[in-house]
Every structure is written in C-alpha cells, then in structure tokens.
C-alpha cells in the first residue's frame, strides 16, 4: 500500500481533489498492493453531531473470468486503480468538536460463468478472500484509532482546541499504523501474513 497523507482543513471537495492528485503518483507496478486511504477534513459548524458512529460501507465492483488470471486482469482493469482493493476512511470534526467518520471498502465481486472449473473457482475465491481479509485489517485499525478519538473528544476536562490538537496526533498514529500494517504484510501479498494488523 502506498500511503498518502491528505490533510486539508477547508472542505471535502478540496480533500478529494488532493486525493485524486496524489493517486496519480502511485506506481502501477504495485498492482497487488492494497490501499487504505485517509482523508481528514475539518468541517464547519454544520458538521454532524457528536457520538455519531462511523458509517461503514462496502462497494463491490463486478469481475468476470473463468480463470484466476482472467479475473485478475479484470480486477486490474476495473478495480480502484492502481489496486484491487481499497479502504478509505474519513474522519471529521466540526468547529465545535463534534466527531464523525466513515469508512468505505472497495472490493471485487466475482460473477462466475457456469463452466468454470472447481480448481479455478477455489483459486479465485481464495484470492478475493485474501484481499478482503487484508482490507478488513485496515478497517479494524481504523476502528481502533477512531475509538481513541472518541475517548478524546468526549473528555470533559479538555478544551476543544486541545482536543483538536491531540486529535491530529491520533490521526498521525492511525496513518502510521496503516503503513506499518502494509509494510509488515507486504500489502497483503503474502498469503501467510496478509491480514494480521498487529503483528
């Protein structure tokens, strides 16, 4: 996984633009790599209320093929380039320190034909399961970090500016954990160690 820290304190569309710009520099040679992507934005007073649980969503893109090689080609073509799987988390806090977040997984959904062999079926399903397990590791890391953020932002003895300052530190740790996870699992490439987020 390639880590790109997008930190924009203006609005979400600026964050998105920065994310797109950063994606352009990612190397296509790391196709197996799986990406956790963070976007952090400070919203204005219109932001969501405190205690809002993170919104979680999985978006599937369909892939076809009768062999693992064919399916991988489709994943390369149709996946969240330059990766096959993608975990995007987004943490926001308002000017009044109301915290909210969302996390979105993008994963392939294999749609097999009727005549695919059992052997290839197993290979394809195992590959997608491995990919999924790796991304779920990113989700667990996110949940752990977000829990720490909730504790922080609910602390009654801290001022809102202090919460934001410490919140930034937690976000930095969350980004580092994602990077470490990918470094240690080789971006989920190693079947024996694809998805242990805390090795």
Binding residues for Zn ion, rule: CB under 5 A, are 1, 34, 182
Query: Edge to edge, what strands does the sheet with 35-42 contain?
Result: 5-8, 35-42, 86-93, 99-110, 55-63
Residue number with CB closer to Zn ion (94 or 130): 130
**Least distance to Zn ion, CB of residue 58, Å:** 15
Four-CA torsion 44, 39, 137, 60, nearest 10 degrees: 100
Under DSSP, the state recorded for 51 is: T
Separation of alpha carbons 16 and 184, rounded Å: 28
**Least distance to Zn ion, CB of residue 135, Å:** 7
Residue number with CB closer to Zn ion (110 or 181): 181
**Least distance to Zn ion, CB of residue 77, Å:** 20
Residue number with CB closer to Zn ion (142 or 146): 142
**Least distance to Zn ion, CB of residue 188, Å:** 6
First-to-final CA distance of the chain:
17
Residue number with CB closer to Zn ion (1 or 103): 1
Separation of alpha carbons 129 and 160, rounded Å: 42
């Amino acid at each position: 996984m390639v880590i790109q820290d997008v930190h924009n304190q203006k609005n979400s569309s600026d964050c998105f633009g920065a994310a797109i710009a950063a994606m352009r520099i990612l190397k296509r040679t790391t196709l197996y790599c799986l990406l956790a992507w963070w976007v952090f934005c400070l919203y204005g007073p219109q932001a969501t209320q405190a205690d809002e649980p993170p919104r979680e969503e999985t978006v599937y893109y369909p892939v076809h093929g009768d062999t693992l090689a064919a399916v991988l080609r489709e994943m390369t073509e149709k996946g969240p380039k330059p990766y096959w799987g993608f975990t995007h988390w987004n943490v926001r806090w308002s000017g009044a320190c109301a915290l909210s977040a969302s996390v979105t997984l993008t994963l392939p959904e294999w749609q097999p034909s009727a005549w695919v062999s059992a052997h290839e079926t197993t290979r394809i399903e195992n590959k997608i399961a491995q990919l999924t397990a790796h991304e779920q590791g990113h989700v667990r890391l996110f949940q752990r970090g977000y829990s720490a953020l909730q504790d922080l932002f609910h602390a009654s003895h801290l001022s809102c500016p202090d919460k934001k300052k410490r919140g930034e530190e937690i976000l930095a740790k969350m980004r580092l954990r994602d990077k470490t996870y990918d470094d240690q699992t080789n971006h989920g490439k190693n079947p024996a160690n694809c998805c242990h987020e805390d090795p």
